[in-house]
A and B are shown apart, each in its own frame.
Chain A
């Protein structure tokens, strides 16, 4: 067995859009920060206010553990392209690669493939190898990439590591330091039973696991039966190239995910979440199941260049829910690009037309034209008396002259928060023909408008 440990030291930061200025992630105190911030003296463990004191331009993000585990799961899926045995750690992955090194053309080759992918996806990482998973892990989190191939070499390799790397409670670590056992080799030297007595069997077990002396079974990542992943963008973007850049991070995950399931997809949904418009849904359809992320990317490039987005996108979501079995051999069999493209465009047209009639959730708003959007299904949910059933989305100007005011005024003053403050007096009015309207006088300029028509 040979284990590859991949540690992501800056994961908690990297899940956020990158920033050109100083940025840090905080939970109770600072958890991690970028280089700009660290030049300014910001360090993990510092209080948030101390960090702000050091840099007024510092952006502090609150740690998002959900997004971190989502990202790790995504990365585990990506790792599925190398081996089916992937185990998720607190801040990284453990891959059993002993059985598949040859498949990937040797360790060096495998490592350089992994490095290239991770680099493309934009994560910082530290790799280490060892015949026991825990020692590979300890070596990776120590920060120095180390590759140990033989079991007999483990002790020497991990001996100099500080005890604080162990996954023991801080009390135990402090205790070890107190008695002068600051490195793993110090612990290994101490009498085992006496040590176990003082610091618990779990310490001894952990050391033994690291040395590969006792079995250390791992739970492997099992991908979900659908693939769903969201990715917030550093800044809202319109350009296809920027969106493609983001897709480069996500599609390899999908590809690995599919490899783990030994399957492929024929349709991928891309949801573009906008600042203030409703989502745009783009679909990529393949004529046959595929799991090649290069291919997926190519297709999305076409789609994005052809699509017109209503407004900038702040987040993308990738979703594939129809995962189809695909033997590893037949990945590239049905490549028929031209045919595929025309089919796809056809499909998108159909889809986009249908999706345009999305309903919005109910809005608490006194302004009739804003409240209108909430009840487009035809029933007046609010049931306010004295209001017409048919409300105009945009009120139109009218002359007051020929209108008889029957009832009112009802005064509405609201909406200052979105820059569309209104101040209006509403009346029920009737024209010469006997038609009844809901009209208002705009109190800011005295002009009259029709808002609705009574049936």
Chain B
């Protein structure tokens, strides 16, 4: 049988046109016996890497190309013959994309009047372009241009095309305008067209038939003259470019002229070590660095480390706190280069575990920066390397169930209200009962199922930068991002990984802002923080961790008293264990029992012991689970890693069985019993998607320790820093302030004469709240106020109004927040006075005839309402203390009273709902945090109560819970038996819960 090369195929990376994944096209082309397949997405190379990876696996030739519609109306498919051609094509796509708004492109035929050296041009013939333009285009590609003939059973006129080819001197070649890998995608393809056009599918311009799929060669033979099919083979032969040829060239400028990259890196590392260990570098560390340098040299990763070092150096010069994490970040080199503060002398980790020679996978370093200052770092990178050499990686936004239902539903003619109901409803069965046409629903379901996972558009990755030596656009097309002045490349993180390009993740972390502020406020440096302070661990063991990085969440707080961390490595475990992976894999309880000595620690073999010893025989980290597959089941490290990457896809589309069988057989062969093997399989399942790597946990643990130390020894500075870094973290300012006060920190109210913009520390144990806490007060107002105040404090409201020239709006905010009480009496009076200043001219004093009525001061309750309204918290009594008498009458006890109740006691308590959580891992359980004037109460609401009392659960702001106390060591939970909504007691008080984040 004849063979054929398809030269014109769109994948679903031609968003809303292509109806098959690149991988599906490749696999189908292979199974139909095609000799080659070109993926030619419209002005895009976004899907090409996936196709490349798959084509290599399948052993079919892949041609890199792109279809472009020029503004003159001609459409051409370009195919890269070689690396030069690829570079030109990438540059052309970049030009077109940069010329237009995100998601579009614009190119004129003039852009290719000099041709694209190294590229083949296929002029598309449906519809036929004007002869003049076709001739012009053909002349730019002498000997490398064809007229493509696409016979799609739509009444095409072959002789007309042949005539056109003759007139324009273009040879003819067959192609099929492929939009899908099999004809069964026709409905989806029509749907995509309707979504693109924004109309129901019945009104959309769709293709008349489903011929745009990869057709059997036999079928093609019956349609096309033989010569046209043979021509495709000739063209394919000319294209010998492979993405494997792309070599990443690192920036050169970081190495001084007289140094080599490795000598420069060694010099920097040694200099760094001297600073780290002024009294002499420990032998162990020196050896480790030497060993790592060797590895780096062998794998040519010097420039990568130098690049990250340069970025971190810049940040440090600007006093921007940062911290590296990721597979390579916890190396001795990174410690020496100050990319991380995790001391390798304290850790048992080996660099080799992170850089694998065998896998030849680039090292991975993510650097977190203070969230408010990351932009400075990004601007530095753009400034240093230029926008043509540095760009953000893409993140491919794909269809999720909700977006899929909305878009497909609209295309099928459901109305907006029906769709919202569908989106909200989780059970399809329910829908069928609620009046939807079952046939229409099943059609919708089928299409939604198909479209989920389809790429929808490219967005920018949160911070993954690619930096190249020459023009980046020669390597990968660059396009405009939604944010002005931002550009993204067309490849995402996995594409970069697959091609072996390096990226640096520049991420934002709120806690770093808070730590930097706390360090500044307390006059310390990060590296001066004493290590392994037992007082800090004791505090954590008491779950006294409000505001501490990572371990402040409800789940973490519940774990800490049992866990009782005693050393840094315990924190690494603590960070990793309260995660969906270990929870779903059922690792948490075995680990805790072993830690408490309630269960013996045993290992089925020495190999397993070597992997699991540091976590008492229970796999906690992603690395451990992957390593287990290697040592216990005979996977290669590369295969194990592939397992991790594919897990999500397997779970969705099936394919797990093969892996399960392989793993079980491997383990049984090596003498492990079936129960153990099954357990490992289950754990790998849980970990695949959600496992937390030890390398990240270690870096996070350091921030946990530092923030906990600050909370323990500098509680005022720490709380102050948290307040100034809002919004961030798990708790609102209200809880942070209450926690600080419980730790004997005096919190002083906002005051127009005393407060700065940020919260400040007038003494080591007191915080003066800043004017940033006042809702609606402008920074501009602050600037005016500060400059007027620097001369002389304000004595009266007139004084303030006339000197600072504040907008009335700002003055009113201050009055409401009580910030004027020092100069204008109680806030009602202050408000009256401020409101009386003339609108246009707040400078003018109140006229003499203005009357001052007797305004009663606010009651305690009214003050409370105003505090919450204008600040979000109160320094006065807790709302519940005002209600306590009423609560007592209802036999509701205080949080602290629960501390003395025995396990199993039936109790009634109430509090403001400050948090609601329903973890995906806990089947239907809702966790509530209630707060009263004495502390917090942790409530567990099981599914049946949650269903029965949904209203009380979801909409109460003040909630009473009748239930049973459950005591587990120091950990108290109130298991709800009945919920009672007491919100009406709060009157006008506006409180807010942080729900379901």
Contacts and interface: CB of A to CB of B under 8 A. Distances in A.
B855 to A, nearest CB: 6
B920 interface: no
Contact of B954 (A53, A61, A409, A414): A53
Contacts of B155: 384-386, 410
Contact of A199 (B186, B208, B210, B835): B835
Contacts of B412: 417
Interface stretch (A97-105, A106-114, A175-183): A175-183
Nearest to B815: A178
A347 interface: no
Contacts, number: 122
12 contacts: A40-B950, A41-B955, A53-B954, A56-B425, A56-B426, A194-B850, A194-B851, A364-B205, A410-B154, A411-B209, A413-B208, A414-B206
Given A178-B828, A194-B853, A419-B439, A61 B434 contact: no
B560 to A, nearest CB: 31
B900 interface: no
B153 A179 contact: no
A43 B951 CA distance: 11
Interface stretch (B355-363, B413-421, B676-684): B413-421
Interface residues of A, number: 48
A178 B154 contact: no
Interface stretch (B196-204, B875-883, B904-912): B196-204
A365 B204 CA distance: 8
A409 B831 contact: no
A412 B208 contact: yes
Contacts of A409: 153
Main secondary structure of the interface of B (DSSP, over half): helix
B812 interface: yes
A191 B853 contact: yes
Interface in A357-380: 363-366
Nearest to A55: B950
Please classify how large the interface on chain B is, using the bins under 10, 10 to 19, 20 to 34, 35 or more: 35 or more
B209 A412 contact: yes
Given A62-B417, A194-B850, A54 B202 contact: no
A197 B954 CA distance: 44
B208 A366 contact: yes
Interface of B: 152-155, 183, 186-187, 190, 201-206, 208-211, 412-413, 416-417, 420-421, 424-426, 430, 434, 439, 443, 812, 815-816, 827-828, 831-832, 835-836, 838, 849-853, 855-856, 858, 866, 950-952, 954-955
B955 A416 contact: no
A197 B836 contact: yes
A423 B186 CA distance: 11
A418 B439 CA distance: 10
A409 B154 CA distance: 8
A429 B206 CA distance: 27
A60 B417 CA distance: 7
Contacts of A180: 828, 855-856, 858
Contacts of B828: 178-180
Main secondary structure of the interface of A (DSSP, over half): mixed
B450 to A, nearest CB: 13
B866 A178 contact: yes
Contacts of A193: 849-851
Contact of A411 (B208, B856, B950): B208
Contacts of A365: 202
Question: What 6 A-B pairs are tightest by C-beta distance, nearest first?
Answer: A41-B951, A411-B153, A198-B835, A191-B851, A413-B209, A411-B209
Given A197-B850, A416-B190, A419-B439, A410 B153 contact: yes
Contacts of A364: 202-205
Contact of B201 (A46, A53, A417): A417
A414 B836 contact: no
A175 B812 contact: yes
Given A411-B154, A414-B208, A198 B836 contact: yes
A190 interface: yes
Nearest to A418: B202
Contacts of A417: 187, 190, 201-202, 412-413, 443
Contact of B424 (A56, A363, A386): A56
Contacts of B850: 193-194, 197
A198 to B, nearest CB: 4
Most chain A Cβ neighbours within 10 Å, of B209, B210, B816, B954: B209
A53 B413 CA distance: 26
Nearest to B869: A174
A365 B856 CA distance: 74
